[in-house]
Structure 1
Amino acid sequence: MIPGGPRPVAPFSHAVEADGWVFVTGQMPTDPAAPDAPLPEGVAAQTARVMENLKLVLAGVGLGLEHVTMARVYLTEFERDYAAMNETYRGFFTPGQLPARTCIGVTGLAVGALVEIDLIARRP
């Protein structure tokens, strides 16, 4: 668990490392400083909050988004939110250095979120 990290919504670790690979649990758009506050409005704001939470977890293990090799994105309103999520998501990475990614439409996410993202990173 990462001190000061987002409050887990289920029994899991923020990240687990094995042989230099770091598996970051899917993060929700909750505010670590106010975990009971309402979620941000709309998928763009929720994506930004999720990415900030992922950065927080990565920093807690001494890594950053530049170490991410794979991302999985889960959207509850795939057709409606795909373009807006992509626009926000893309802005967190250096142009031309995006990780591999899968994006999946799902029927629901914890805490009523519109988006959840998990990551795989590699320690240099």
Structure 2
Amino acid sequence: MRFSSIKWLGVCLGAICLMTFVQLQASSSRTDRPDHEPSLTSQDPLPQYITARKGAPASSVVRAGNVLYLSGLLGSGPDGSIVGDVSAQTHTVMARLKDVLARNHSSMGHVLHCTLIVTDIQTLPLVNTVYMGYFPEGRLPARTAFEASGLAANALVEVGCIAAVDQVATRL
């Protein structure tokens, strides 16, 4: 059972990479200039890597064209400690996700796909109830959800996502 879930996740990630490659190829009309400095609002097809903290093993956000890729977030408070039960952690993760999207010219209504990981699949109905409350009605993204035997910092839930950038906000 776990092998088929991992195989399915690999197929999904492959499809996402292919879609991004196609988007990058379609938008690669810019002329390369050595003095070109990427910015968060740039229409540059080259990826921009935004790291939350020095020495982190991955970027917290990567922007490629008009697509944001957010690393998985945990339900941790301002001091970095994990908060409460799975419901509290899910609320915290989703609020953090919403904040990161807003800071990068996107929103919950622009989320295309989420990856949700829980340490106990039996908690998925509770997680789903909280999760669904953060998206505008009729705008639930595609999603992959699975159980893992453990998450960083003994968290119970982790959520990462792919989102479109709000085109109006990037023109302001």
Q: TM-score, normalised by structure 1?
A: 0.86
Higher relative contact order (CA 8 A, sep 6+): 1
Matched, 1:15 2:61: yes
Structure 2 counterpart of 1:26, which letter? G
Structure richer in strand, relative to its length: 1
- 2:134 aligns to what SS in structure 1? coil
- 1:87 aligns to what SS in structure 2? helix
Structure 1 gaps, min length 5: none
Q: Which segments of structure 1 move beyond 3 Å, counting only runs of 4 or more?
A: 7-10
Q: Which residue of 2 aligns with 1:86?
A: 128
Q: Which residue of 1 aligns with 2:90?
A: 47
1:24-72: CA deviation from partner (whole Å, max 9, x where unpaired): 00001111x222x3x2221111000001111121122111111100001
Structure 2 gaps, min length 5: 1-49, 168-172
CA–CA distance in structure 1, aligned partners of residues 142 and 87 of structure 2 = 20
CA–CA distance in structure 2, aligned partners of residues 94 and 61 of structure 1 = 18
For residue 100 of structure 1, report the CA deviation from its aligned partner.
0.6
- 2:59 aligns to what SS in structure 1? coil
Q: TM-score, normalised by structure 2?
A: 0.63
- 2:158 aligns to what SS in structure 1? strand
Give the 5 Å matches for 1:1-124: 1=50, 10-31=56-77, 33-35=78-80, 37=81, 39-79=82-122, 81-123=123-165, 124=167
Cα RMSD for the two superposed structures = 1.9
Structure 2 counterpart of 1:65, which letter? M
Q: Work out which of the two has the higher radius of gyration on C-alpha atoms and give 1 or 2.
A: 2
Q: How many residues align?
A: 117
CA–CA distance in structure 1, aligned partners of residues 91 and 54 of structure 2 = 18
For residue 86 of structure 1, report the CA deviation from its aligned partner.
0.3
Structure richer in helix, relative to its length: 2
For residue 21 of structure 1, report the CA deviation from its aligned partner.
1.1
For residue 8 of structure 1, report the CA deviation from its aligned partner.
8.7
Q: Which residue of 1 aligns with 2:31?
A: none
Query: Do the aligned partners of 1:9 and 1:110 also contact (CA within 8 Å) in 2?
Result: no
- 2:83 aligns to what SS in structure 1? coil
- 2:97 aligns to what SS in structure 1? helix
For residue 10 of structure 1, report the CA deviation from its aligned partner.
4.5
